[in-house]
Structure 1
């Protein structure tokens, strides 16, 4: 009588290391047959493992080309079973180890990707930190401020200014050299151009890219573009003519949208107190990404993102209405006077207030911004039923009710 033993949960590997099981496989008898068949009937999972182990033993047994075993042959087969089982276990451990290594590699790849993603996010936060660090400078000065690196700040009094960077690291303002940055700052140091209301400026980078910067705008950019990408941060309104270089993409980042540029000219309006952000393409091609939306613009198209609703759309426009400001003109077509006065307020640095009855009126035309604010408002007064009163430093616009 075979003594009882609990084989529940045994695997084929364990059975191949069990002398009683191997003996039954090599020399089955009636009593042992009954015992093992009962185990198989009572435990389906164990039955599968028994069948696997039996196939393994049978395979080895057939390799010896003899149906009958001497005691020595039986011992040799037993040793071979142990040897093959050890090899199997080694292979299994190797496979298991390989799986762990692969999982670890995937894990570290994910961590690296997450780090890269957060590095990019951190870089954007750095832009915002730069704006915050110079917030007092922007709010207390009526001059254009050029911030070079961390320490050097240059005030520019002219209403229209031009900043240029040479390939040698020289910086000029209105053709006058103000600094030679070569070797003084790392290539990752961030410069900033702060243009207050009532002033305009432009930047020419060492790669040939030109940017026109409208009133009330800020542009943050590195001391020197690296070999992988050219990236700047914009708050406000800028017009760009980007030098074509397909191997080094140009990226314009704002608080809520990014623009990937393929050598082109376009306008970005991204004031932090506007309801809409706009990217208007004049020539070439750009890809705009915002709020999970990614779209490609063609010339004479505009992407507009409504900040409150969080949705964006593409429409065909007359680009002249959106880029004429860089040439000193304001062209508008059926535009609410509230928006017209808002833009004039920024351009001339004059506080203008109008009630809802005035703001809802629409107007079309062209304003020459080279004229003084009083003259420009005079054109609007002749085109719309409005009157203009001055209260200290504020202009109050009200509607004339015609009887």
Structure 2
């Protein structure tokens, strides 16, 4: 990194100027390509720079926690996060107190079709239309990057279709009725190759965002482990992982009816509302949809979210496991970071935001309140 880049670091510390962040980002990209190493004479003492970054970012986060509703503070968090990705990654070795010699790339577009005999077909790599006679289904890629599914009208199969994203995967699909579905990591969608004349019903395990094709004669129904969501034409997100503490249904547009399977409780959501099913109790609360569907835009957005919840998302997207040392899952933070960043880049940001330490061992993240010796 040149003295020019050091100038922009100093400018950031003085004014938190967003242009300084952009300049630093470009300088960092050049440094990555040329494989330069940290040079104290040109860039300043590494530990001193690290300490100043830590102080600046924690100040930013304290402001965000107190005034989380003010847009200018979200902008400040974004600037702080940008600098952390740039400088924190360069000096990544201090983030866990030990030398981490490897990194893990972010997830990508991966989708699997599960046949009745258990055979797994990798759909994200298909180059031409795929025809599953067994399922009565035809699949092709679109120019938008999604996979479009067609019913084979001549097929006699009544077997349900099982499509899933592995950990570290996501994909966008178009169902035979024209409904578009974004599947998040470690999720599965089960549906018939041909919907009935009365209803369009699918089963979801995991998380998905739906843009339902309008059909007033056939309601669209999403079944999860404990509830059913009925719609006519709308946009909404469902997070219903089997190992999650609750089920969240968030409505962006339209109207949905939610029914519990084991009792008569029923609610209707309006746009900007979220239903939360926890320990058998269903309640409605306001929600910021940008934070709910952040993953469809390639981001992680946290607003006073617990470290335990954050790390569950990290586990699914980077296909890793966590090992906790100490009672630290309830620590909360706010911020924003791109899902295109490597795992170490994200862990750097979490460390500076929370003070918690992370060590990457293989595909296991050890999380502790103390620096790992």
- For normalisation by structure 1, the TM-score amounts to 0.58
Structure 1: runs of 5 or more not aligned? 1-141
Shift of 1:182: 2.0
- Larger gyration radius, structure 1 or structure 2: 1
Tell me whether 1:172 sits opposite 2:140 in the alignment.
yes
Aligned partner (choices 188, 195, 220) of residue 250 of structure 1: 220
Q: 1:214 aligns with which of 184, 196, 209?
A: 184
Instruction: Give the structure 1 partner of residue 106 of structure 2.
Output: none
Corresponding residue number in structure 1 for 2:273: 301
Q: Give the aligned partner of residue 207 of structure 2.
A: 237
Instruction: Quote the Cα distance in structure 1 between the aligned partners of 2:252 and 2:131.
Output: 23
Q: How does 1:305-320 map to 2 (within 5 A)?
A: 305-306=277-278, 309-320=279-290
Match status 1:358 vs 2:328: yes
**Residues 163 and 173 of structure 1 are in contact (CA less than 8 Å); yes or no, is this contact kept in structure 2?**
no
Secondary structure at 1:358 match in 2: coil
Match of 1:155 in 2: 122
Please give the secondary structure, in 1, of the residue aligned with 2:344. helix
1:179–1:343 CA distance, 2 compared to 1 (3 A) = closer
State yes or no: 1:198 paired with 2:198.
no
| TM-fit CA distance, 1:368 | 0.6
Distance 1:164 1:271 in 2: 30
Describe the SS at the equivalent of 2:291.
helix
Query: Equivalent residue for 1:145?
Result: 112
Q: Contact between 1:148 and 1:190, CA under 8 Å: does it hold in 2? A: no
Instruction: Give per-residue Cα distances to partners, 1:336-386, cap 9 Å, x unaligned.
Output: 111101111111101122334321210001121011111111111121111
Q: Which runs of 5+ in 2 are unaligned?
A: 1-108
Change (3 A) 1:259 1:187: farther
The answer on whether the counterparts of 1:338 and 1:354 sit within 8 Å (CA) in structure 2 is no
Q: Over aligned residue pairs, what C-alpha RMSD do you find?
A: 3.0
Task: Answer whether contact 2:131 2:137 (CA < 8 A) is retained.
Answer: no
1:30-72 per-position Cα deviation (integer Å, ceiling 9, x unaligned): xxxxxxxxxxxxxxxxxxxxxxxxxxxxxxxxxxxxxxxxxxx
Q: Aligned ranges for residues 10-159 of structure 1 at < 5 Å? A: 144-147=111-114, 153-156=120-123
Aligned to 1:386: 356
Say which structure, 1 or 2, has more relative contact order (CA 8 Å, 6+ apart).
2
> Counterpart in 1 of 2:306?
336
Moved more, 381-390 or 179-188: 179-188
Cα distance change, pair 231–319 in 1 and its aligned pair in 2 (3 A):
same
Write the distance in 2 (CA, Å) between the matches of 1:154 and 1:178. Answer: 15
